[in-house]
Amino acid sequence: MKTPLTLADVQKFKNMEFLAKQLVEGFITGLHQSPYHGFSVEFSEHRLYNSGESTRHIDWKVFARTDKLFVKRYEEETNLRCHMLLDVSPSMYYPTENNGKLTFSALCAAALATLLRKQRDAVGLVTFSDKIELQTPVRSTGSHLHTLLLLLQKQLEQKPTAHDTNVAEVVHLIAQQIPKRSLVIIFSDMLSRQDNLEEIFAALQHLKHQNHEVLIFHVMDKKTEEEFDFAERPYVFVDVETGQELKLQPSQVREHYRAAIENYKRELELKCGQYKIDFVPVDISEPFDKVLYAYLVKRGKVR
């Protein structure tokens, strides 16, 4: 059994194509060995049977192996267009010792792009802070995937720029540019001084009104950013986006901080539920598989 990939592996190997391939292969192997066996064994060739549809395309050989009904998937059914939006603002480079949130998100984006290519789907990449930093076409070729993975690797080798996050403005711009129904996947900590939740969700509604599907991975370092789990001693906390410094001991603000971040996350989840947006909280200390599972579930809903 392969050892799961870690953030340290990304820094050690510095080869996004190799790492994404390893992650996807390990994930698919895990699906073979899990209760989801049959769900994705041949996920590029089959989909689950929907009650009420014609039975003429059911693959009875797969049924005999799995005791589940799968329908053979044809070329036109896999023509998904996916736009991946990766937040590269300074807060995503936290924790700074391993650029944790950005490293986690970049490898997940690379793995998803690899999965999309396996399913013959088209994918494009957007990186953003307070504006769009980079934007690629949406394509399904092997050479395009290679280019995306190189861009993701290059992003990890760049230093953060002195920009804030502006999710709302970027999402509005992307919504104006997408001509066909697509899946929009966003990797972000959703931490911004410029945005408020009303502005963010007005932008996300813009996508939904145009019949796009939206999947948000809310990327956080749970131990410190949510639980405020720091040793009890004096610290100088520095805002990575403004440089503002605050001297204090964790116990002075821990309860208030935890309550504030919990309320913010709860509001995010409630709003996403109202707008039928898939919201997946992810902790950078967790296995990458959680993101890949969430994608497959969402992919199964997009027809």
- DSSP letters spanning 103-123: HHHHHHHHHHHHHHHHTT-EE
Q: What's the CA angle centered on 58, arms 57 and 60, to 5 degrees?
A: 135
How confident is the model over 44-68, as a mean pLDDT? Answer: 75
Q: Is the model's pLDDT at 155 over the cut of 60?
A: yes
Q: What is the average per-residue pLDDT within 48-53?
A: 76
Which pLDDT band holds residue 38 (cuts at 50, 70, 90)? very low
Residue 198 pLDDT exceeds 50: yes
Inform me whether the pLDDT recorded for 1 exceeds 60. Answer: no
Q: Evaluate if residue 156 carries a pLDDT over 80.
A: yes
Sign of CA dihedral 288, 292, 293, 298: positive
Residue linked to tokens 């490898």: 107
Report whether pLDDT(2) > 60.
no
Phi, psi (degrees; rounded to nearest 5) at 256: -65, -40
Query: How confident is the model over 260-281, as a mean pLDDT?
Result: 92
Helical ranges in 88-233 per DSSP H: 100-118, 142-156, 167-177, 197-209
pLDDT tens digits, 58-112: 888 778 878 888 776 654 445 789 999 999 999 999 998 888 999 999 999 999 9
Please give the pLDDT value at position 45: 58
Query: Is residue 24 within a helix (H) or strand (E), and if so which, with residue range?
Result: helix 16-32
**Closest-CA residue to 268 (of 187, 198, 170):** 198
Task: State how far the alpha carbon of 55 is from the alpha carbons of 49, 59, 299, in Å.
Answer: 8, 9, 22
- pLDDT bucket at 134, cuts 50 / 70 / 90: very high
User: Tell me, what's the pLDDT at 302?
Assistant: 67
Report the C-alpha gap between 170 and 86 in whole angstroms.
Answer: 11
DSSP of 62-83, one letter per residue?
HHHHHSS-EEEPPGGGG--EEE
Name the amino acid, one letter, at 224.
T
CB 32, CB 41: distance < 8 Å: yes
Q: Give 122's strand partners.
A: 81
pLDDT, tens digit (0-9, with 9 covering 90-100), for 101-132? 999 999 999 999 999 998 889 999 999 998 89
124 has which bridge partners? Answer: 83
CB 189 within 8 A of CB 268: no
The answer for 14, left when phi > 0, alpha when psi is -120 to 50, beta otherwise, is left
What CA–CA distance (Å, rounded) separates 299 from 303? 8
CA separation, residue 52 to residues 46, 297, 300, 303 (Å): 17, 20, 17, 16
Each residue of 282-297: pLDDT tens digit? 999 998 988 998 888 8
The tens digit of pLDDT for each residue in 204-241 reads 999 998 889 999 999 999 999 999 999 999 999 888 77
Backbone angles phi, psi at 72, to 5 degrees: -65, 130
Q: How far is CA 272 from the centre of its chain?
A: 15
d(CA 260, CA 104): 25
Q: How many CB atoms lie within 10 A of CB 144?
A: 19
Q: What is the pLDDT of residue 196?
A: 76
Looking at residue 194, its pLDDT comes to 56
Structural domains of the chain in order of their starting residue, each with its CATH number:
7-17+79-301 (3.40.50.410), 35-78 (no CATH)
Q: Is the pTM of this model over 0.85?
A: no
Residue with the two structure tokens 């001297």 = 247
The structure tokens listed for 13 are 């190997």
